[in-house]
Chains A and B, each alone.
Chain A
Amino acid sequence: MAKALPSSRTVAQQARVESASQILKRFYVAERTLMRTLAAWFVGTSQWDLKRQLSEDMWQTAQHADALRTRILELRYPRRDVDRKYDPDVLALLAEVAKAKDSREFVAGVYDVLLPALVAGYQAYLDRTDPLDDAPTVYRLQHIVADKQMQIARMRALVERVYDDEPGSLADWRDYLARYVASIGGLDGLGGRVPMPEAHPCAGRPPYDVPRTVERDPRWRPALFHLPHENKYDAAGRAAWKRIEALDKRVAMQVWSAISHFNEIWAAEVPASVMWDLDNEPWDFYLDLARWSWDEARHSTMGWRVLEGWGWNVPDLVPWANGLYNALGSVPPAQRLALLHYYEEGLLRAGTKQIELRILESAQDDGSSQDMDYDWADEAIHVSYGYKWLKHLLGDDSAGREELQRLTDEARQIMVNFVAAHKDDPAAQLAPYFERLYPVVEAMVRDIPDDGLTVEWAPVVADEEVLQEL
């Protein structure tokens, strides 16, 4: 007679390793795709407060996807399949989320429908799984849930602050996506399924694509460039800047640095757009580019924080340019990345960040110095990303290096042509900004005593050929 002791506890269905890895894979696909979607909508969003929050949430989503992917591979999930065989239901849902008609609608779809549905899926998993057997997953999911809940609360508060009222169409969009989530059985796929909302007024929109040109927050006037070294034809802008410089070179450096930092937003938009355009690269490619993009959005925020900290009306006094992104938005993704890498490596090799840091330190501008110190550290990581992934995209051989050189040279020429083509565009003229800025800076420096230090002027070089021609 065969006998067996009873199980010491009851276990839930779908809590065994194979089921758990399948469910976590579905979550990974959702997070991975959401990360790319947030990246694309970060590019497409002009409202500054929403834009920088989308960037941070994009990077956090990359961390969530990475944590899930790591755990899936610990659960006997085949390595060869972890970045293949994506659940088509989840991909289809995320494709619908991306089809929002504007940033407001996108935010409503993500933060009012998708993320709450993801949290519900994670919570159901946590309720179902064994906290001892599956402890590594529990640890990860608890942190992911805490992040998601914070993201939801933070973005909802932000939307309330930014917008006065809510258009009625948002309710339709939320309703459509909620029905879509229900039609695929929730993010974990375990719920009861309802019919797909194919006849819904929000259904049937065309596929989303990342924008090839961007606009800035409408609180700012349109501007193609942000500092005079970018546009050799803007003699009036250069003269207006030299007046500020004549007040005090080191003060001008502080202002230059903050304006330059704020305008690094284009360097965040380039990797984010590449994340959308290239959909079949190794996972580490997206993880690295998510960090690259978020870092640059942080640097932009650093500049904005300094400018605001001086009590300035930033939209009135500081240009926020879109020329760098718009000139290259339509070129191949590897070429966009190549130009960004060229600039970043050039700045590091020229020691520009170190020189800027020394000048800011000599001004005892502790805030700007610390910002620059962290920026300098971040840029070293970015150069290693560019070095690694451009080799991956173009080839790690002499042909690949030649192609990188060709793409970089061509992109630089495109920039030169863009500057020439827009030389008479009112949005390319910086003098009005610097003429408004002059009395503000002049009033700030009036009562500051001269410390007698001689400061060597060290402009930030975006294109050394343009600079030489000045």
Chain B
Amino acid sequence: MPTIRLVKSEVTFEAEPDETIMEAAERAGIFLAHSCLSGICRACMTRVLAGSVEHDPEYADDLNIDPEEMEEGYRLLCSAFARTDVDLDR
């Protein structure tokens, strides 16, 4: 099970393979800014500092995130899964 580390907050939690990082945070009782839970409002957009995070392939084309932002490591946590242990810029 991947471990998510919020680097600035110095908090870690684990994510099931089939739950989004936002869902995993909520299950762990951790507050992350969000709103739509559908990848359109960008409230949860966060930079991945280490590890692999993938957007839900079913909705990847509908997400409000630019290719350049993706290249810079940003992901929408409400619509993304951790594939390895991950460090997030939070």
Question: Which A positions have Cβ atoms within 8 angstroms of B?
Answer: 345, 348-351, 353-354, 376-377, 379-381, 383-384, 387-388, 398, 401
Contact = CB atoms under 8 A, between A and B. Distances in A.
Nearest first, the 10 closest Cβ-Cβ pairs linking A and B are A351-B33, A380-B41, A348-B43, A380-B35, A380-B36, A384-B40, A383-B41, A387-B64, A348-B35, A349-B43
A230 B36 CA distance: 28
B10 interface: no
Nearest to B64: A387
B68 A384 contact: no
A23 to B, nearest CB: 37
Contacts of B31: 351, 354
Given A387-B64, A398-B68, A401-B66, A380 B40 contact: yes
Nearest to A379: B35
Interface of B: 31-36, 40-43, 45, 64, 66, 68
A267 to B, nearest CB: 16
Contact of B42 (A349, A351, A353, A398): A349
Residue with the greatest number of chain A CB neighbours at <10 A, chosen from B33, B34, B68: B33
Given A348-B35, A351-B32, A383-B41, 10 more contacts: A345-B41, A348-B43, A351-B33, A351-B43, A354-B33, A377-B35, A379-B41, A383-B35, A398-B68, A401-B66
Given A387-B64, A398-B68, A376 B42 contact: no
A448 to B, nearest CB: 28
Contact of B64 (A377, A379, A384, A398): A384
Given A348-B35, A351-B33, A401 B45 contact: no
A377 B34 CA distance: 10
Nearest to A351: B33
Contacts of B41: 345, 348, 379-381, 383-384
B29 to A, nearest CB: 13
B64 A349 contact: no
Given A348-B41, A348-B43, A383-B41, A376 B68 contact: no
Given A351-B33, A353-B35, A354-B31, A380 B64 contact: no
Contacts of B66: 401
Nearest to A391: B66
B68 A349 contact: no
A349 B35 CA distance: 9
17 contacts: A345-B43, A348-B33, A348-B42, A349-B45, A351-B34, A354-B31, A354-B34, A377-B36, A379-B35, A380-B43, A383-B42, A384-B36, A387-B40, A387-B42, A387-B64, A401-B66, A401-B68
Contact of A350 (B33, B36, B40): B33
A349 B33 contact: yes
Contacts of B45: 349
A350 B34 CA distance: 9
B42 A345 contact: yes
A380 B31 CA distance: 18
Residue among A353, A354, A377, A398 with max Cβ neighbours from chain B (10 Å):
A354
Contacts of A377: 35-36
A53 B40 CA distance: 30
Given A351-B33, A376-B35, A383 B43 contact: yes
Nearest to B45: A349
Nearest to A353: B35
A348 B36 CA distance: 10
A388 B31 CA distance: 28
Nearest to A352: B33
A384 B41 CA distance: 5
Contacts of A387: 40, 42, 64
Nearest to A378: B35
A357 B31 CA distance: 13
Contacts of A401: 66, 68
Contacts of A388: 64
B1 to A, nearest CB: 26
A348 B33 CA distance: 7
A164 B42 CA distance: 49
A351 B22 CA distance: 14
Contacts of B35: 348, 353, 376-377, 379-380, 383
A380 B45 CA distance: 13
Nearest to B32: A351
Contacts of B64: 383-384, 387-388
Contacts of A345: 41-43
